[in-house]
Amino acid sequence: MNLAQFLRPDRIVVPMAAATLRDAAIALLDRLLATNAIANPDKLGQRLNEFRGEDIVTMGERAFLVHFRSDGVREMALAVGVAPHDIVRELPTEEAQHARIVLMLVAPPRQAARYLQLLGALARTLARPQAVEQILSAPDPAAVAALPLFAEVELPRQLTVDDVMTQRPRTATPDTPLRDAALQMARGGISALPVVEANDIIVGMLAERDLLRNLLGSHLQGDSPPRPTPEGVNARRAVRDAMTRQVLCVSPEQPLAEVASLMINKDVEQVPVVREGRLVGFLTRGDIVRKLIGW
C-alpha cells in the first residue's frame, strides 16, 4: 500500500485561501465533511476548537500536518491544502511558524496502526525538499493527486515497541538515595527512572511527580512558610520511599500503535519495557513522536 491510495482530488484544495493554520484546518475539515469522511461533525469541531499542540506536526517551513484520531470519524481520510502564500501558526511564547502546505489526517480509533503508519510516511515524504517543491508546483487538485512521488512511498511495516524504545535505560534500585536519583534525573534530562532489583527485575517507577510529592513535601504547605526538616532526613530517604509500585509495563513485541493508544488513554508519559519481568528498555511519548517525524 502506498500514499497515492489515500489521495483523492475531492479532498485536495488548490489554491487554498487561508491566512492562518486554524483557517486552513477548518477548510480541510469542511472538505472531509463534504466527502462523507466524518460521522460526527460536532466531535471533530470540538477537537479543532481546542487545537492542541500534540495534534500538529510542523515540518520546518515546509508543511503543517494536523492529525486527529476520534470515534467521530467514519473512515481514515487525508485532506491536503496548498496555499499561494504562507500560512501562519501563531504561538504564544515562540516565533510564529510558516508553511504553504497543510495536511489533515483523521482516523477512527480502530485504525490506530494504519494511522501511525500513514502519519510516519507523510512526515518522511514532506522532509524531502524535492517532494515539497513538486506539491507546491502542482496547479490543481488532480495534479497533486497524480504526482508520482506519492505512488513511490510505500507504507512501512507495522512498528513495534522494540523499534522505538531506548535500550539500556538509566535505572535506580529501591535502596538508591532519593537525592541521588533526583540528581541523576535532573542531569540526564529525564522525567522518570525505572526501579529494578537484582537481574533487572522491575519493581517500580520513580517519576518527577513522585519526587515533588515526597522529596519536597515539607515545602508545599500552601501559604504557610516552609518548615525546616531535621538535618539529614532527606538524605536518608531512599527511592523505595517515593517510587510508584503499580507500574504499567509493555513488551518489546507489542505494536507501537497499540501502546501509543494505551499511553494516551491512561495519560502515561513513559512505560518500562519488560520481557519475563526483566527490564529491557524504556519508551516515552517523545520517543514515539520523534520516530514518526523521522528524527
Give tens-digit pLDDT for 237-285.
Answer: 899 999 999 999 999 988 887 888 888 888 888 999 999 989 999 999 8
Rounded to an integer, the average pLDDT of 80-102 is 89
Do 7 and 152 belong to one domain?
Answer: yes
Do 144 and 234 belong to one domain?
Answer: no
- Boundary-marking domain end, from 123, 156, 189: 156
* Number of domains making up the chain: 2
With contact defined as beta carbons under 8 Å apart, do 136 and 100 qualify?
yes
Range of the domain at 148: 3-156
With contact defined as beta carbons under 8 Å apart, do 204 and 196 qualify?
no
Do 149 and 15 belong to one domain?
Answer: yes
Q: What is the CATH number of the domain that holds 179?
A: 3.10.580.10
Residue 42 cell numbers, joined: 460536532
Do 265 and 144 belong to one domain?
Answer: no
Do 203 and 238 belong to one domain?
Answer: yes
Q: Is 233 left (phi over 0), alpha (psi -120 to 50) or beta?
A: alpha
User: What distance in Å separates the CA atoms of residue 7 and residue 292, rounded to the nearest whole number?
Assistant: 20
Which residue in 107, 99, 106, 89 sits closest to 135, CA to CA? 99
With contact defined as beta carbons under 8 Å apart, do 283 and 205 qualify?
no
Residue 77 cell numbers, joined: 481520510
Do 175 and 255 belong to one domain?
Answer: yes
pLDDT confidence of residue 230 = 44
Respond yes or no on whether the N-terminal peptide bond of residue 15 is cis (omega within 30° of 0).
yes
With contact defined as beta carbons under 8 Å apart, do 35 and 9 qualify?
no
Determine phi and psi for 24, rounding to 5 degrees.
Answer: -65, -40
User: What distance in Å separates the CA atoms of residue 279 and residue 275, rounded to the nearest whole number?
Assistant: 7
With contact defined as beta carbons under 8 Å apart, do 101 and 33 qualify?
no
Do 167 and 145 belong to one domain?
Answer: no
Do 17 and 133 belong to one domain?
Answer: yes
Relative to beta strand 12-13, strand 77-89 is: parallel
Do 109 and 79 belong to one domain?
Answer: yes
pTM of the model: 0.58
User: What distance in Å separates the CA atoms of residue 49 and residue 45, rounded to the nearest whole number?
Assistant: 6
User: What distance in Å separates the CA atoms of residue 83 and residue 163, rounded to the nearest whole number?
Assistant: 36
pLDDT single digits (tens) 117-175: 788 788 888 888 999 999 999 999 999 999 999 999 887 667 789 888 988 899 999 99
Q: What is the CATH number of the domain that holds 10?
A: 3.40.930.10
Report residue 17 CA to chain centroid gap.
29
Do 28 and 96 belong to one domain?
Answer: yes
